[in-house]
Amino acid sequence: MDEELRKLYRDYNTVMAADDTVRLDKLLAPDFTLTHMTGYVQPKGEWLQELGQGTMHYYSSVEDHVSLRETSRGWHIIGQSRVVASIHGSAKSEWPLNTDLYVQRVNGQWQIMSAVVTTY
């Protein structure tokens, strides 16, 4: 199961960097939220719309480390990656991002319920 969860983290980063909102939508739970490093909690639909419009554009994500932690209701996949992005018109920059994905198995498939992003 460890490799399955690590693959989910890698798939999330790959499709995010490809601006592939269709595949990203399938990985995310309907009520998914993304808590940005600013503290803003963004609903799934709003985030996918910004990706689709290019308001938020991710160029790449290079993984440094991934760890897993089981809870009574699911798993936390905690990954550190260096992400190159342009957000809301900012210059293309690289950020060392710590992403804590909370995931659950829903109807036999892993779904990302939430993501909390900070820097490391």
Give residue-wise pLDDT tens across range 59-69: 999 999 999 99
The mean per-residue pLDDT over the stretch 81-94 comes to 94
**Which percentage of the chain shows pLDDT scores above 90?**
98
**Distance between CA atoms of residues 82 and 71, nearest Å:** 26
Residue with tokens 């932690």: 69
The answer on pLDDT for 1 being more than 90 is: no
pTM: 0.94
Of the pLDDT bands very low, low, confident and very high (cuts 50, 70, 90), residue 110 is: very high
Q: What is the mean pLDDT of the chain?
A: 96
